[in-house]
């Protein structure tokens, strides 16, 4: 039995019919649909739906062509897709000026036996700051570098959801280290932190964040080399501004809201220097480095655009799902965060 969530005709953004590549709603809906296409590609594979594939509609509706599947070498699961924009001749005018030529879309964890083991292993790698050492990231990075070298970075989008957003963030950061800034659409990106945002008492929440900042800053000061490294990294990355799509009800993944808001609060209380060190470093990362382990805290970002869902989500599944990001009645709040 096919889930309606896999069927574009049943759950896709059929209402997004006006082609306007300057419109944030259109760009977001397209990026999310292409990520969903990567999910459905893998589910088509698992269910042997070669003759009745559900995935193509998710990109063909927006005039994209699938040019490559990204396949994990460990379990042969499809974890991503590369699409090329191929609009009909009648569309090739000023309306497509801001359209990407290529989109690299990465799915998140699929809770099915054929891919669950590998996906969970990579989820754990993220929690241990080791996702950059995985073969899935190497495959992703090779694909990104290949497409960018052939098409130019202004013509390439990165998009990902959940675990896929973590991979896309890591790839985007690596490219930014080389001075190449890619448009990135990161849906429900994971943030490795206790779910502090769930605390309703604002004073308690603020107090916990302040205490954590002082601990992180203290560790960074004690580790002079690490402090210098993190400062240099943030300076280089500060010009890259990914788009982060966050739902506050997605408690495990909503910490970016507090992460960026806390910077402002540290300035307000006269502790800007402490806040600056804390935002560049993770306590877990610092402790692992102290024991000689190479880490890459993906979630630490200097700059970002936060696009926050302000509507009601009835449960965690809805709050974390990719489908919400093309909903017709979606209400959003925009925040711009720049690192100075």
pLDDT tens for each residue of 323-334:
999 999 899 999
pLDDT at residue 204 tops 70: no
**Tens of pLDDT, residues 143-190:** 999 999 999 999 999 999 999 999 999 999 999 999 999 999 999 999
Q: Is 292 left (phi over 0), alpha (psi -120 to 50) or beta?
A: left
| The predicted structure's pLDDT at residue 206 | 65
Distance CA 32, CA 168 (A): 13
Question: Which pLDDT score, from 0 to 100, does residue 19 have?
Answer: 79
Kindly tell me if the per-residue pLDDT of 262 is higher than 70. Answer: yes
Q: Percentage of the chain with pLDDT > 90?
A: 54
Task: List the 78-85 sheet strands across, edge first.
Answer: 64-71, 78-85, 102-106, 156-161, 183-187, 243-246, 304-309, 332-337
Tokens of 21: 């590549």
pLDDT higher than 60, residue 2 = no
Q: Supply the DSSP string of 196-251, one letter for each residue.
A: GGG---HHHHHHHHHHHHHHHHHHHHHSHHHHHHHHHHHHHHTT---EEEE-TT-G
120: helix, strand or coil? helix
* pLDDT value of residue 281: 67
Pairing of strands 183-187, 102-106: unpaired
Query: Is a pLDDT exceeding 50 seen at residue 1?
Result: no
What is the pLDDT at residue 116?
87
Which residues are paired to 167 by β-bridges? none
Higher pLDDT among residues 15 and 226, named by residue:
15
Q: Which domains are present in the chain?
A: 4-197+234-267+302-337 (3.40.50)
Q: Residue 322 above 70 pLDDT?
A: yes
> 96 versus 239: which is more confidently predicted?
239
What's this model's pTM, rounded to 2 decimal places? 0.88
Highest average pLDDT, of 72-76, 210-214, 258-262, 313-317, comes from: 72-76
CA atoms of 185 and 125, how far apart (whole Å): 22
Q: Which residues pair with 244 in a beta bridge?
A: 186, 306
- pLDDT-derived band at 308, boundaries 50, 70, 90: very high
Interval 17-65: pLDDT, tens: 887 899 999 999 999 999 999 999 999 999 999 888 999 999 999 999 9
Q: Which pLDDT belongs to residue 65?
A: 98
Mean pLDDT in the chain? 86
């Amino acid at each position: 039995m096919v889930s309606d969530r896999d069927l574009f005709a049943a759950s896709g953004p059929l209402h997004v019919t006006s082609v306007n590549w300057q419109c944030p709603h259109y760009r977001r809906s397209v990026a999310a649909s292409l990520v969903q296409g990567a999910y459905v590609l893998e589910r088509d594979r698992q269910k042997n739906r070669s003759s009745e594939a559900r995935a193509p509609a998710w990109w063909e509706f927006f005039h994209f062509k699938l040019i490559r599947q990204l396949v994990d070498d460990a379990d042969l699961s499809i974890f991503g897709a590369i699409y090329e924009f191929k609009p009909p001749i009648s569309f090739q005018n000023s309306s497509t000026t801001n359209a990407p030529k290529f989109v690299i879309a990465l799915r998140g964890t699929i809770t099915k036996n054929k891919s669950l083991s590998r996906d969970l292993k990579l989820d754990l790698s993220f929690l241990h700051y080791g996702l950059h050492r995985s073969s899935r990231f190497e495959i992703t990075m090779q694909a990104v570098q290949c497409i960018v070298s052939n098409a130019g970075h202004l013509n390439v989008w990165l998009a990902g959801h959940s675990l896929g957003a973590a991979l896309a963030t890591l790839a985007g950061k690596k490219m930014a280290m080389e001075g190449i800034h890619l448009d990135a659409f990161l849906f429900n990106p994971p943030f490795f932190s206790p779910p502090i945002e769930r605390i309703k008492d604002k004073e308690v929440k603020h107090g916990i964040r302040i205490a954590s900042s002082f601990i992180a800053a203290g560790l960074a000061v004690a580790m002079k080399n690490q402090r210098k490294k993190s400062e240099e990294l943030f300076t280089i990355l500060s010009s890259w501004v990914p788009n982060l799509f966050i739902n506050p009800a997605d408690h495990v993944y909503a910490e970016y809201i507090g992460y960026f808001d806390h910077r402002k609060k540290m300035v307000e209380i006269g502790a800007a220097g402490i806040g600056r060190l804390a935002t560049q470093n993770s306590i877990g990362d610092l402790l692992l480095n102290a024991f000689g382990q190479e880490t890459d805290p993906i979630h630490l970002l200097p700059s970002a655009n936060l696009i926050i869902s302000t509507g009601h989500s009835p449960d965690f599944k809805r709050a974390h799902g990719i489908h919400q990001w093309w909903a017709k009645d979606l209400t959003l709040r925009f925040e711009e965060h720049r690192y100075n």
